[in-house]
Structure 1
Amino acid sequence: MAEPSSGPTAQRTWWRGIRPRLIGVLLIPMVAALALGALRVEAAVAESQAASRAESLANILPDSFRLAIRLTVERDSANTGISGSAREGIRVATDRAIESWRDSAAAVDDSQDQTLHDDLDWVGGLLSHLDAVRTDIGEPRTRDGAAGTYTEMINTLLGLGARLPALEDPSIYRQADALAEVRTASEVLGSLRVVVAEALTTGQLDAQGLIQLAGDQGVWDRASQEFIAGSSPVAAEQFAALTDRGRGTQTTPLHVMDQMLLAGGVAGVDVTVEEWLKLYSDFVGEMEAVIVQAADDLAADVSDLRQSAQLTALLTAGVVLLVLLVAFALTVLASRSILTPLVALRQAALKIAHETLPERVRRIESGDGAVDTSVEPIPVGRHDEIGEVAEAFDEIHAEAVRLAGEQAQMRANVNRMFVNLSRRSQNLVERQLRLIDELEASEQDPDQLANLFQLDNLATRMRRNDESLLVLAGGDTGQSARGNVRVLDVLRAASSEIEQFARVEVDSSELAELRGAVAGDLVHLLAELIENAANFSPPDSPVAVRTLPRTVDAPLVIEIQDLGIGMTPDELVAANTKLQTTGGLDADVARMMGLVVTARLADRHRMSVSLRTGVPNGVVARVEVPLTALAVHGTKPIPVVSSPTTDAAAAAQAAAPALAAADAAPAEIAPPQPGSMFEEFEETPIFAALQSEWFNRRMPLVTSGREASSQDDPTTAVSEPSPSWSSPGDDGWKRAAEVAQRPREPELVTAGGLPKRVPGQNLVPGAAPAARQPSPQPRTTTVDERRSGALSSFQRGVSRARGDAATDSFRFERWEDE
């Protein structure tokens, strides 16, 4: 099963998750609502602030109108011949109005209206110099200029109502416009007072005065109507009553103006100048009260509007905040209703993908018996689309578990089938080997013995292939020994299981013994490695099998080295990775079965197998056997055994000095210890021949030049030391080997089709004992000859390897079965 990929999940940035995106989707409308609410609150606050400024200005309007009327009276009184005490009383009233106006003006908020600020400063400055203006108006020479100053101050004070900020209540503007008409009415009253006073003083009204009087009446009537229409109901009612010309017998300035216009002069007007001034002063006082009432009503309305605006701003802010809180709460609930099942689904899916399902598959693959394919559903409601996805994922999970169970069951069935077939094949091979042993025991013909030898070797390889199938199927090879086995015996047994056993050189001084349960599998493992080294190295090169020196508490290390071309770094990495992997089977098993079997056998006993590049070339396979696999930890080294010839020579030299120059019989191989895995095999002629061939050849791992090239170049060949003993059957065995290399002749058969035996045909010549002959002494070689031979052999070996690689006559692709 492929490992799950976590790259996208580990590399994903936080803002790519569903949670930030969902929060963004829900947050965008909330931000928009917040912005709109903020704008609405800002508008309400701005309206409240404007209402506050309007209120501060409206509060000054009553005092402004009082002051304007007082200034009007003071200006007009300067042109009449009133007494000094009366004029002083008018000025005192004006001063009181000025003080009241200054107090009100100090509370006016003119920060947002520069024109209002300039008007208030200008009026305040003129009022500060009012004494000089009063002096000027009393002088005939400066009276007109001073009167103009009074008029400008009066108009500015009466025009403050037009400076109210923009408000949403239209009634405020109607009242402000109505108060603006007071300025027009005051101008008309001032002109009327002067015209009527002059007419009463002179006793006649000229045409110019009559025209002015008629014009003033028209302006008064229009201003009065607009004031009544725009002012507050109370002020409108009071002003209407004040200006009603039909108020009974009460005489008002308006009645006097009407009588003069009707009479075309002062005829019929029974009012003196003093009475006229008294009527005018009383009328102005009553009109002042009405105007102040209108200004007070305007200020009250503006104050109410300000309170309403402030309340509206507070309510707007509260409502917006409440709406946002409710929207946020609903958004949180909605997002939680979506995110909670999504998070649960994600966590469950990741846990299933990375933990539950792989662990379940591993348990299914490693377990025996019935397979439980039930799965636990994801704890997510099934009432929405997320639930449907969870249900679909549960179905996928169940299907994956079911498929894993079916695959495990199928794999178990295939393994059992392989085990059964391998067991049957093993039984047949064992029977074949026993039959070959029986034939070897009774066969005397060298040709037939050679054929039986080949059959024996092929049967041994077939048995190892059957054991490999058992290993791949997870079964036991059944090759465990009942007792402990020496390491040297294991190395010899492994080298004897390959076809080219004669090329193997065993070099070990290890005294340790392996447990019987480990020895059989180690023989198989080493045989796979040795066979690979022999198959992928030149046929005339040796394969060295050696154990490294170690301490008593160090693991056993076995190395197998060949002299082939070797492997590339990438191939070494791939092979070592394969040696560390013991998982499921793949397409490489058929091509690299030996490598897979080696990895599984090593993993079974906690061994370590690795490959590296050899020196000067080739590949070195390193097998590290743990201490737990050793039954006896040897500490004293034994003589190095590379071939039986060397063992025999060493044993003969250690036996007695007298045997050094005499003919010495070969040293007998020590029998296996009791309980050894090899004690159940009966010595047969074929195994004797195998051992004879193996013991009689020796090729060093790193040969000298002349030794390595002796077979290729007879002129540089160095004679090997011949053994100092011989037997009468040597010639016969040599002839048997020569016959085995020749094509077989057709067998003679009887008329019934049975083989026809020739008496004495299979007897080995020279089997009878003969007198021993002293063996010739080997010719010694010099160091220069060996060095020259090594260089020549190296050059020819490289040339031959390159030629073989170019013609593809010799493949160096490792771990592939032929």
Structure 2
Amino acid sequence: MAGWGKGRRRRTAEGAGDGSRRAGGVRRLPLRTVLLIVVIVPSVTFTPLLASGMRQLAGQWQEEKAQLELATTTVGRPAAGLFFALDQERRLTAKAQASPGAAARDKLAGQRAATDRAVQAFPTADDLDLTDAQPGLAAALRRAERDLGLLDQQRRAVDAGWSSPQQTFDYYSGVLETDLGVLTALSHTGESQVNIGAQPLVDLLWIIDLLGREDALLTRGWDTGRLTRNEYALVTEALGTRNHLMHARVLPALTGQETRYATITGGEAWRTMTAVEGRLATAASGSGRDQVRLGDDGAAWRSSVASVTAQLRQLAGLRFAYVSRVGHDHADMIFTVFVSISTVGLLALALVILTSWRVTAVLRRRILRLRQEAQELQERLPDVVARLERGEDVDADAEVRAIEPTGDELGELGQALNVARRSAVRTAVRQAEQHRGFQRMLQRIARRTQILIGLQLKKLDELERKHEDPAVLEGLFDLDHLTARLRRYEENLVILGGGQPQRRWRNPVRLLDVLRAAQSEVQDYRRISIEVEGEYWIAERAVGPMIHVLAELMENATTFSKPLTPVEVRSTPVSKGVAVEIEDRGLGMEPEQYAAVNALLQAPPQLDVMTHADDVRLGLYVVARLAAGLGLQVELRPSAFGGTRVIVLLPETMVVDRPRTAEPDPPEEDRPRAGALPTRTRGHALATVAAPAPAAPSPAAAPERENGGPRPLPQRVRQASLAEELKAPAETPGDQEEWAAGDRPSRSSAVIGAFQRQSRLRRTGEEAFPAPPGGSPDPMPPTTEDR
């Protein structure tokens, strides 16, 4: 136990060092986290790209669908209907202003009703969701709403005659122009093919508007027979613009069924209309400066214009259907692409995730298999070592299960692990065999040393019997005590080498005698006080190990407490057996050190003496091993005095009944005394018996004692201070090899001290241990060693 107490005042820095290394090192992610990152990173990278493409296609499809809905249904058709209605109302209003008759008024009223229906069907900007609408559509709708809001006012002015024909013409032309602005805005979609196809449709509507302007001006001129130069200029401007749009932009863009109208300009109605326009130009050149006289061509003009207008409207209907078909086809194509890309993208994403997950799962399974193989080696290696320590033969190749090789890097790692496992097991076998051989060698050396110690004790006994000189006896007793301690240290080597103490007893021994025997093996035994409550007997199989455990604990208590402080040993019966408490008044230990020592005592490790050669707490391992073998419970706790209190719990299986051969202690007055040996008082471990006095004094000695002369020295009787169960059996000359197994326990140190004190008192002629008045004898008078 030497050096154990130093551990009480020494804090270890291993935990702090490990923590600093963990804090300063690079933190490695678990394998599962790394593999999840391998799965998640490609998925997270691919998902935004796929989502962005899908969102863009979905937005484009939604925008085109919304624009097509506005151009073909929501706004386009009502705007076209309003356009044709206003064109008719403009012509009939001009006719009514030129010849205000009942027939003209009736036709105008009917057309106004049709225009009102068209106005009611025309949507406003506030009624529509224009989030995805064509650019400029909202502004065009609001301009059209503003101009249509003046329609009723313009009609009332026409009916009242407040509005001149030119003002009326300008108003209706302006309203038609704003309506064409709405239709033009509807043609500006996000798809270029739709825009290209819608441009000829807008040009056709402009041609119809320009033709309507000519018709409105000439309708009024046919009734009056003349046109003003201003009106003629408007006619010629409309004529030139119409012909340019027709020949330069409309006819070249005709496709499909529209090509049958490619000859519209060569038809009868178109030729009649252009012929009337030619005669109008001839009349204008021969008329005056302010007016242009018109001929009688009104009927031919009206029929030809109506026919041409009908053809243009049919062509506009075909172009409208073509543009609508192109727009819907493109929108459907975008939707198909959106669905295809979304499906392919989602399948690709699922494939990426599934493949990554599958690959990582396979890798993780293979890596975990290698980890399990390594853990199996970690678990199997101690078992192999334990079997080797039990003396079993172990085949290293049979203990290693080879990993199936593969052709990749993990297979090479498995091969390396196979080699490492085989090498580790073989190394463990060699080390275990070396350790087992070293233990056998250590035990052999310790046994031989114990034989020499036994011979030394035997020689000391012979010398003690021969010599009566107190000084010589005192030296011999000290040597005897040192030899007993040396015997315990040799037993420590045997225990550390895997053996057990060889001292055996055939009969149970009293607990008090066991405690005294342990006390006699401690260097500073005078500081130890023993107090036993009750009389208990220890089973013979546990006497030797019990003495060894208690001696180690007592020596530790005396070593690591102040020289003059007492060490108290108490035994008390408890519910589970008998508890022995050893309490010192030293410095104690830290709470974490108490916990570490108690953990070691509860589960003693397998000690490799070679690896623990520098450990100063070898006695702690000895106590732990002996306690585990006996079933003792040893626990260290802080003492109320500041030191350490050791509690040794003896189980009920170790406490036996008084043997039948053991006689009860005789009464105090019947006990043999040697002179005036000190009696044992509570709290002090003194011998209760010494060498028995002679039965009767010799006649020669009686007068000397009566005359007050010096009394003879007490005669030492070998092993008289020990209980019968602790006395070693008689030896024979051939028992030297067996002496270590049947070694004799040490004599009580208190008896040795008592013998020394009686010797000195006899030499000085003083009374041995005079009892003070009214009190008991001094339990421990001072000796030379005490002083």
* Cα offset, 1:408, TM superposition: 3.4
Distance 1:86 1:604, change over 3 A: same
* Cα offset, 1:535, TM superposition: 4.4
Partner of 1:121: 145
Distance 1:140 1:46, change over 3 A: closer
SS at match of 1:118: helix
Distance in 1, Cα, partners of 2:406 & 2:416: 10
Distance 1:543 1:219, change over 3 A: closer
Distance 1:560 1:254, change over 3 A: closer
* Cα offset, 1:242, TM superposition: 3.7
Note if contact 1:52-1:303 (Cα within 8 Å) is conserved in structure 2. no
Distance 1:688 1:12, change over 3 A: closer
Note if contact 1:493-1:523 (Cα within 8 Å) is conserved in structure 2. yes
Note if contact 1:560-1:622 (Cα within 8 Å) is conserved in structure 2. yes
Note if contact 2:558-2:584 (Cα within 8 Å) is conserved in structure 1. yes
Note if contact 1:548-1:558 (Cα within 8 Å) is conserved in structure 2. yes
- The reply to whether residue 18 of structure 1 matches residue 10 of structure 2 is no
Note if contact 1:516-1:677 (Cα within 8 Å) is conserved in structure 2. no
- The reply to whether residue 780 of structure 1 matches residue 772 of structure 2 is yes
- The reply to whether residue 167 of structure 1 matches residue 223 of structure 2 is no
Partner of 2:507: 483
- The reply to whether residue 318 of structure 1 matches residue 333 of structure 2 is no
1:550 aligned to 551, 570, 573, which one? 573
SS at match of 1:548: strand
Distance in 2, Cα, partners of 1:232 & 1:190: 26
Q: Deviations over 1:267-325 (max 9, x none)?
A: 9xxxx978521122112212221232233224323432443354235324422431342
Distance in 1, Cα, partners of 2:760 & 2:232: 178
Note if contact 1:161-1:179 (Cα within 8 Å) is conserved in structure 2. no
- The reply to whether residue 430 of structure 1 matches residue 454 of structure 2 is yes
SS at match of 1:628: coil
Partner of 2:306: 285
* Cα offset, 1:174, TM superposition: 1.8
Distance 1:448 1:537, change over 3 A: same
Distance in 2, Cα, partners of 1:111 & 1:692: 113
* Cα offset, 1:539, TM superposition: 6.2
- The reply to whether residue 257 of structure 1 matches residue 273 of structure 2 is no
> Which amino acid is the alignment partner of residue 493 of structure 1?
A
1:146 aligned to 168, 171, 181, which one? 168
Distance in 2, Cα, partners of 1:683 & 1:692: 24
Matches within 5 A, 1:192-203: 193=218, 197=222, 201=225
Distance 1:228 1:487, change over 3 A: same
* Cα offset, 1:409, TM superposition: 3.6
Q: Deviations over 1:791-813 (max 9, x none)?
A: xxxxxx9xx9xxxxxxxxxxxxx
Distance 1:598 1:361, change over 3 A: same
Distance in 2, Cα, partners of 1:382 & 1:151: 89
Distance in 1, Cα, partners of 2:124 & 2:231: 43
Note if contact 1:119-1:156 (Cα within 8 Å) is conserved in structure 2. yes
* Cα offset, 1:67, TM superposition: 1.6
* Cα offset, 1:468, TM superposition: 0.7
Partner of 1:33: 50
Partner of 1:607: 632
SS at match of 2:552: helix
* Cα offset, 1:61, TM superposition: 5.0
Matches within 5 A, 1:55-134: 55-56=72-73, 57-60=75-78, 62-78=80-96, 80-81=98-99, 84-85=102-103, 88-89=106-107, 91-92=109-110, 95-96=113-114, 99=117, 102-103=120-121, 110-112=128-130, 113-122=137-146, 124-126=148-150, 131-134=155-158
Distance 1:376 1:131, change over 3 A: farther
> Which amino acid is the alignment partner of residue 549 of structure 1?
T
> Which amino acid is the alignment partner of residue 34 of structure 2?
I
SS at match of 2:349: helix
> Which amino acid is the alignment partner of residue 601 of structure 1?
L
1:460 aligned to 484, 488, 498, which one? 484
- The reply to whether residue 308 of structure 1 matches residue 338 of structure 2 is no
1:511 aligned to 535, 541, 561, which one? 535
* Cα offset, 1:522, TM superposition: 0.9
> Which amino acid is the alignment partner of residue 329 of structure 2?
S
Q: Deviations over 1:595-624 (max 9, x none)?
A: 321222122222233445667576544322
Distance in 2, Cα, partners of 1:486 & 1:327: 87
Distance 1:77 1:239, change over 3 A: farther
* Backbone CA RMSD of aligned residues: 5.4
SS at match of 2:649: strand
Distance 1:364 1:290, change over 3 A: same
Partner of 2:134: none
Matches within 5 A, 1:798-817: none
Distance in 2, Cα, partners of 1:475 & 1:690: 22
Partner of 1:751: none
- The reply to whether residue 593 of structure 1 matches residue 653 of structure 2 is no
Note if contact 1:181-1:227 (Cα within 8 Å) is conserved in structure 2. no
* Cα offset, 1:25, TM superposition: 0.8
Distance in 2, Cα, partners of 1:732 & 1:108: 132
Q: Deviations over 1:173-221 (max 9, x none)?
A: 32244135325622662477269748x947xx99999877765553342
Matches within 5 A, 1:193-592: 193=218, 197=222, 201=225, 217-229=239-251, 232-233=254-255, 237=259, 240-244=262-266, 252-261=272-281, 276-341=297-362, 343-344=364-365, 356=376, 359-368=379-388, 369-371=392-394, 374-375=399-400, 382=406, 403-434=427-458, 437=461, 453=477, 456-501=480-525, 504-536=528-560, 544=568, 546-550=569-573, 553-561=575-583, 565-567=586-588, 569=590, 579-580=601-602, 582-583=604-605, 584-585=607-608, 587=612, 590-592=615-617
1:45 aligned to 58, 62, 68, which one? 62
Distance 1:273 1:601, change over 3 A: same
Distance 1:539 1:148, change over 3 A: closer
Note if contact 2:86-2:172 (Cα within 8 Å) is conserved in structure 1. no
How many aligned positions are there? 696
Note if contact 2:727-2:744 (Cα within 8 Å) is conserved in structure 1. no
> Which amino acid is the alignment partner of residue 471 of structure 1?
I
Percent of aligned positions that are identical: 21
Q: Which has the higher contact order (CA 8 A, sep 6+)?
A: 2
* Cα offset, 1:255, TM superposition: 0.9
2:653 aligned to 621, 628, 633, which one? 628
Distance 1:7 1:212, change over 3 A: closer
258-267 or 19-28, which deviates more: 258-267
> Which amino acid is the alignment partner of residue 336 of structure 2?
L
Distance in 2, Cα, partners of 1:474 & 1:274: 144
Note if contact 2:283-2:294 (Cα within 8 Å) is conserved in structure 1. no
* Cα offset, 1:254, TM superposition: 0.9
Q: Deviations over 1:670-708 (max 9, x none)?
A: 8755xx464425699xx9998586326479xxxxxxxxx
TM-score by length of 2: 0.72
* Cα offset, 1:118, TM superposition: 2.3
Partner of 2:750: 694
Distance in 2, Cα, partners of 1:617 & 1:160: 103
Distance 1:606 1:208, change over 3 A: closer
> Which amino acid is the alignment partner of residue 468 of structure 1?
N
Distance 1:251 1:155, change over 3 A: same
Note if contact 2:154-2:163 (Cα within 8 Å) is conserved in structure 1. no
SS at match of 1:493: helix
Partner of 1:155: 177
Distance in 2, Cα, partners of 1:559 & 1:683: 39
Distance in 2, Cα, partners of 1:537 & 1:125: 115
